Amino acid sequence: MSQSQSKPPTPARRSEATRTAILDAARERFAADGYERATIRAIAKDANIDPSMVMRYYGNKEGLFAAAVAIDLKLPDPASFQRDEVGRALVTHFLAMWEENEVLTALLRVGATNQAGAERMRGIFGEQLLPLARRVCPDPEQAPARAALASSQLLGLALTRYVLRFPPAVALAREEVVAWLAPTVQRYLTAPHPA
Amino acid sequence: MSQSQSKPPTPARRSEATRTAILDAARERFAADGYERATIRAIAKDANIDPSMVMRYYGNKEGLFAAAVAIDLKLPDPASFQRDEVGRALVTHFLAMWEENEVLTALLRVGATNQAGAERMRGIFGEQLLPLARRVCPDPEQAPARAALASSQLLGLALTRYVLRFPPAVALAREEVVAWLAPTVQRYLTAPHPA
DNA sequence: GTCTATAATTCGATAGAC
DNA sequence: GTCTATCGAATTATAGAC
């Protein structure tokens, strides 16, 4: 890559580049190894910097994790699709999110064994999926339960496909996953309560 | 408890009791902390024995884990219920299994960050759920995919309810979980392929 | 069978030179 | 901003006395 379009490498910008390199490496390690086995030393080595820089920038390991897994699910606006298409829209969107980077895998792996990770997961799904559920489900009072049910299926697929790597779950084509899961998520969010 | 019905505490039986005490403590710790943070020292302390005994009996930490998470899902015989009730039967059975002891929670927590744990999880669901899927699904060739889809929903619920502890997922009554999830699992196992 | 002592690593975090 | 050196703590695992 030419530098012709880049800003000049002032110390401030160099620091910026170092920071993002650290976060990229941290996401990879947390996603691959979980919180405990993702060491600051290994992350620094991946980012080609000194371990002490990680501490300087993020204070401690928890601070690094918090910065590395900040994420916006970028859920589609319910106004952008028909109400009976919310299941398909959500499953499609989540598959793309899981495969475009490693933040969600890191969150899931860490959330399974780390209190702070689980809390972060609760926050993200509570604050970002719940509002959408409130707008599409029949009774707003049921929105939390319906959002949790939809989460259980979406996260369950991610667990078997990207973390545990069940061979048949990995082998499914994206369209097949959508075809199977969309009706489930649709029902959890919009169908009448099953007695 | 009176000892009147117990066998005499010969050295052999004493050793047996120590072994089960170790495994019980190990399951608890693995379920609560995951593989890395569940230390042999802590497990030994819980079991009121010396850490070196754990090594003596199980060789190393991996051997202890393998012994602690051996489990039979005890899936119901497909002959014992109607074909259109397999979803309800499976969800009901799994809820009971998850809540009766901590083996599955330990497996899920460890499987998320540990290769051996993930492999164990693949083995259990592949060898125990797959045969049942083969007997109830329309085309045996689709059995692996259908078993994986059913696993994704069952494990996803366990993840949100017992590991990540999403408040709405925890709050759901058992019967509500069954009412919502049974149709999903039923469809994954027996409905025609959704084109 | 049970326990003490300890070897051999590894990690997060800090201090301080340049 | 960057790096070297290192501390203090914790871990698995082993050797060997009793």
Q: Which two tokens stand for residue A6?
A: 């880049």
Nucleotides on chain C that have an atom closer than 7 A to a protein CB are 1-5, 10-16
Torsion of CA A101, A102, A103, A104, to 10 degrees: 100
Cα–Cα distance for residue pair B149/A168, rounded to 1 Å: 9
pLDDT tens digits for range A10-31? 767 778 899 999 999 999 999 9
Q: For the residues of B21-76, what is the DSSP string, one character each?
A: HHHHHHHHHHHHHHHHHS-HHHHHHHTTS-HHHHHHHHSSHHHHHHHHT-----PP
Closest CA of chain B from A48, distance in Å:
25
Out of B109, B148, B168, the one facing A168 most closely (by C-beta) is B148
CATH architecture of the domain A11-68 equals Orthogonal Bundle (1.10)
Where does CATH 1.10.10.60 sit in chain A? 11-68
Please identify every stretch of chain A with a pLDDT value under 50, giving residue numbers as ranges: 1-4
Average of per-residue pLDDT across B34-42: 98
If you average pLDDT over every residue of chain B, what do you get? 94
What's residue B23's pLDDT?
Answer: 98
Residue of A166, A177, A190 to mutate when probing chain B, most B C-beta within 10 A: A166
% of chain B surpassing 70 pLDDT = 95
What's residue B1's pLDDT?
Answer: 43
Question: Is the C-beta of residue A152 closer than 7 Å to nucleic acid chain C?
Answer: no
Q: Is A160 exposed, middle or buried (0-12, 13-18, 19+ CB in 10 A)?
A: buried
B149:A180 CB<8 A: yes
Spatial distance from the CA of B29 to the C1' of C8 (Å): 26
Q: What is the three-class DSSP state of A41? A: helix
Average of per-residue pLDDT across B145-170: 98
Out of B112, B149, B195, the one facing A34 most closely (by C-beta) is B112
Cα–Cα distance for residue pair B10/A188, rounded to 1 Å: 57
Chain A residues close to B122, C-beta within 8 Å: 164-167
pLDDT tens digits for range B110-125? 999 999 999 999 999 9
What value, to the nearest 5°, has the Cα angle with vertex B6 and ends B5 and B11? Answer: 160
| pTM for the whole structure | 0.95
